[in-house]
Amino acid sequence: MSDPAGISRDFDFEFGQWRVHHRRLKERLVGCDDWDEFAGTSETRPVLGGNGNIEDNLLEFPSGPYRAVAIRAFDPTNRNWAIWWLSATDPHQIDTPVVGKFEDGVGSFFANETLNGKPIIVRFLWLRTDTETPRWEQAMSPDNGASWETNWTMDFRRL
């Protein structure tokens, strides 16, 4: 959704401060069903005149606290968002962006990546964005999207 000036409002639901419940698979694409669950906080604010935003995260991993940011930018010409992940543990390496858009209240974003030297597709989904408890999910596909393994979920509650 965008206003007449071409500013996207897709991520307005996420602006502010959140408590986040994380659930993350311990291993990816190996048939693992062992999950870590941990808390975190998140704060999102607009940038780029409204066609971008920064999500600052503190994740309380079982191994210790972890900081990272999601950087998002909207291209009003093709109506797509790009989302990058930047970690404090590797501050000179930014992940390949997932690219996509919101349709019918669901944000779907994809990137071609590699995991353990094998090509995969990474998918981010934003769900329940019209509620007080939005959800983000990450999934990976080793077979060009024929099947997906959800390996990380984040459930948000406003602080």
For residue 98, how far is the Cα from the chain centroid? 9
In this structure, the dihedral spanned by the alpha carbons of residues 29, 33, 36 and 37, taken in order and rounded to 10 degrees, is 120
Reading the block at residue 29, the tokens are 């694409």
Q: Is the pLDDT of residue 2 over 60?
A: no
pLDDT of 88 > 60? The answer is yes
pLDDT of amino acid 132: 94
Higher pLDDT, 51 or 1: 51
Instruction: Encode burial over 115-142: b for 16+ CB neighbours within 10 A, e otherwise.
Output: eeeeebbbbbbbbebeeeebebbbbbbb
Q: Which CATH class is domain 12-158?
A: mainly beta
The pLDDT assigned to 6 comes to 76
The residue ranges of every structural domain in the chain are 12-158
pLDDT recorded at residue 131: 95
Beta bridge pairs of residue 72: 53, 83
Q: 46 and 52 in contact (C-beta within 8 Å)?
A: yes
Band (7; pLDDT cuts 50, 70, 90): confident
Phi, psi of 11 (to 5 degrees): -100, 10
What global pTM score does this model have?
A: 0.93
Residue range 39-51: mean pLDDT, rounded:
96
